[in-house]
Amino acid sequence: MARPREFNKDDALYKTMLIFWRKGYDGTSIPDLLEAAGISRSSLYETFTDKQTLFIEAMKIYRNFVGSNSIQIILDYLADPVRKNEPAMDIIRKYFNGRIDMALDRRYPGGCFITNTATSLETADEKVRSAVVGYIRKTEDTFRDILNRCRDNGEITRDSDINALTAYLIAIANGINVLSRTGKDRSSLDNIVKTALKNISI
């Protein structure tokens, strides 16, 4: 029996992450995945069980990948007591800046893995749906924490509705992700963030 071709699991996952990002969960076929990852059908099933599991693994790769230049910026700030007096709004600005960098970076498929997947998510598979929704909920929790910090620091009004502002900033992030795919340039996207943050700052 022929020994299955060796392949690098992380490399295969990175490549499947890019193809899911480009085509969404439902739009990505098994042949698409095999071609992107350069692996055989049997290797795919042996290593990743099924398409659902592979997608969830790819989403984790995306999280680490995006994390390094966006959400992690917020988490690092919140976890570091020394930075408590640093303006939290500056950190939110950096988050958006990182998102725009990535959404426009021509080495990637454009926009955001999660936004692109969410808009085309048709599958009834509960594991996939809850992974996508769970990702967004985690981002919301992080935004709620940093907005609370903004309030504690007096950067937004004391009576600010933190839940409403969280939903508002998540909508802005998703809107930017969509618009980055319609030919909007850097300065237009930067202006959206500027307007959105100016509007809520004291």
- Report the interface residues with its own copies, using CB under 8 A: 22-24, 26-27, 111, 115-116, 118-122, 132-133, 136, 161, 163-165, 167-168, 170-179, 181-184, 188, 191-192, 194-196, 199-200
Least gap, CB of 176 to its own copies (angstroms): 6
Instruction: Answer whether 18's CB lies under 8 Å from 36's CB.
Output: yes
Least gap, CB of 40 to its own copies (angstroms): 25
Which is closer to its own copies, CB of 43 or CB of 115? 115
Least gap, CB of 160 to its own copies (angstroms): 10
Residues 83-117: b if buried by 16+ CB within 10 A, e if exposed: eeeeebbebbbebbbbbbebbbeeebbbbbbbbbb
Residue type, 19: I
Token pair of 63 as six digits: 């999280």
Which is closer to its own copies, CB of 68 or CB of 191? 191
Least gap, CB of 177 to its own copies (angstroms): 7
Evaluated on CA atoms 175, 179, 185, 188, the torsion sign reads: negative
Instruction: Answer whether 189's CB lies under 8 Å from 179's CB.
Output: yes
Which is closer to its own copies, CB of 75 or CB of 121? 121
The span from the CA of 156 to the CA of 176, in Å, is 23
Which is closer to its own copies, CB of 34 or CB of 192? 192
Which residues contact residue 171 at a Cβ distance below 8 angstroms, ignoring those fewer than 6 apart? none
Least gap, CB of 87 to its own copies (angstroms): 19
Least gap, CB of 159 to its own copies (angstroms): 13
Which is closer to its own copies, CB of 93 or CB of 181? 181
Which is closer to its own copies, CB of 77 or CB of 96? 96
Host H or E run for residue 158: none
Residue type, 199: N
